[in-house]
Amino acid sequence: MKKIISVILFSLIIVFTFSKVYVEDGLVVFEYENRTADSVFVAGTFNNWSTSAWEMEYYNGVWVYVAELQPGVYEYKYVVNGTDWYEDPESPDYVPDPYGGRNSKFELVLEDGELKIVGGEAQEGKASIISGKYEFGLKTKLEDEKGFFASPEVKNEVVLSINPNVQNADLELKIGASSSNIDSPFKVYGMKAVWMQEHFSLGAFYKTTINPNYNFDYENPETKLPGFGFLFNYADFNAGVDLLSQTNKLKFLIFADYSFRDFRIGLLFDTVDATSLVIRGEAFNLFTEFDVEDSKFDRFLIGYEKEDNYGLSFKYSLAQENLLASGFGIFKSFDIDAGVYYETAGNNFYGLKVGGGYTFLESYRIGGDIYFNANEDFGFNLNFKIENEDIPVRVKVGFGNDIQVDAKRFDKNKYLSLSLTAEF
């Protein structure tokens, strides 16, 4: 317990740096308080991220720069002493940067002839460092003989994410409690402490991703093991090394990734579970990936995806002797998805699932799935979901079978389920 308390207290440490961006007399004013800096520049999308173009002037502990900008969306950071990149702790908004941190962001709009920053000007004080998610689930089985629902299963889970706003660092602690953990409801879901510079970052992690450029279908070992990582980036090239602990044995992971226009190639080598080599290539919305495990071909993936509008993929596993083909499509308010699972050995088992839905009034979706397999098992489910970016709570009600297209054993029972998710 003392160790847990120490981790939480450490994660709550915050470096308070006061700054703000606002509009005055039609000009955008950047203010940044730092009494120890020798120089401060504003770098962002408005000056092609130049570290020497927009030099701030120092007035009584506050660095100031005034810019004339046109309406638009801008990202920025402060560059201190020529090398240290700091986000604005009071930025109106944030977006992830390519190095595992965040860029400050604001939108400048013209309303009634006056320039304004959307969302209001930065508030005095510190940004919130705590966010969380609460999940409730109820699942009860339909008793065919008695004709009513029985054996209810209830799940409650809450996870808090603590992200101290420390300059040049990416700190996170995820803690929570779940009713499914009978012996010890409290659980540490993950943590990381990463020091970030312009071209490299390094730090420790526990079941949490620190590599922002990991895009393999292969499961990321960082999400299931503790370790220490070093990442390097320059222009369109990224590389990294992880040292991981698995059952008191030292494992390692080596990663490299290079992008050029519409092309991207990635390489991954790790010794977790087995000695694996993964190579992935991407070009013009096409992607392919293949794995070699313990010097033997293991898995091959190929697919095409067009901006979340439609996609198709094929995955073949030589070790498990199966093939999985899946696809999806979205047209206005309609969506459809399908999957086919086929075993190339034994009795050539197969399973087929087709699903879809319709979204109306932007927040409500009604949908369902049907399933059939080689054993002549037939299943279905129907569901209704309420979800919208402006609604903090998501609700889903469903009835039917639990369908997994790649599962050979089919559960013939039918269930009524209710789930609720709230993020804060």
Other beta carbons less than 10 A from residue 102's beta carbon: 19
Can you tell me the distance from the alpha carbon of 411 to that of 56, in angstroms, rounded to the nearest whole number? 65
Q: CA 365, 367, 370: angle at the middle one, nearest 5? A: 170
Residue whose tokens read 């970052």: 201
- Alpha-carbon torsion (147, 148, 151, 153), positive or negative: positive
Segment 240-245 long-range contacts (CB within 8 Å, at least 24 positions apart): 240/211, 242/211, 242/270, 244/272
Q: What DSSP state is assigned to residue 318?
A: T
Residue 272's φ and ψ, nearest 5 degrees, are -80, 130
Fold of 130-423: Porin (2.40.160)
3-state helix, strand, coil in the chain (%, to 5): 5, 60, 35
- Alpha-carbon torsion (28, 34, 39, 45), positive or negative: negative
Non-local (6+) Cβ contacts of 380 within 8 A are 368, 369, 370, 371, 400, 401
Residue type present at position 205: F
Q: According to the model, what pLDDT value does residue 100 have?
A: 65
* Residues 302, 312 contacting (CB under 8 angstroms): no
pLDDT in tens, the chain (424 residues): 333 333 333 333 333 334 589 998 889 999 998 888 889 999 999 988 988 899 999 988 889 999 999 888 899 999 998 888 888 888 888 888 776 678 899 999 888 778 888 754 443 334 458 888 899 999 999 887 766 788 889 999 999 999 887 767 888 999 999 988 777 778 899 999 998 887 888 999 999 999 878 889 999 999 999 999 999 988 789 999 999 999 999 999 999 999 888 899 999 999 999 999 999 999 999 999 999 999 999 999 999 998 778 999 999 999 889 999 999 999 989 999 999 999 988 788 999 999 999 999 989 999 999 999 999 999 999 999 998 867 778 999 999 999 988 777 788 899 999 999 998 7
Q: According to the model, what pLDDT value does residue 367 have?
A: 97
- Alpha-carbon torsion (75, 80, 84, 88), positive or negative: negative
CATH code for the part of the protein at 17-117: 2.60.40.10
From the number of C-beta atoms within 10 Å of its C-beta (0-12, 13-18, 19+), residue 250 rates as exposed
Q: Regarding beta strands 40-44 and 93-96, do their DSSP bridges make them parallel or antiparallel, or are they unpaired?
A: unpaired
Q: According to the model, what pLDDT value does residue 309 have?
A: 87
Can you tell me the distance from the alpha carbon of 281 to that of 240, in angstroms, rounded to the nearest whole number? 18
* Residues 240, 228 contacting (CB under 8 angstroms): no
Can you tell me the distance from the alpha carbon of 295 to that of 206, in angstroms, rounded to the nearest whole number? 29
Q: According to the model, what pLDDT value does residue 92 have?
A: 86
Q: According to the model, what pLDDT value does residue 202 have?
A: 94
Give, rounded to a whole angstrom, the gap between the first and last alpha carbons of the chain. Answer: 26
Residue 366's φ and ψ, nearest 5 degrees, are -120, 135
Domain-wise residue ranges, the chain:
17-117, 130-423
> Which residues, listed in sequence order, are joined to residue 244 by a DSSP beta bridge?
227, 251
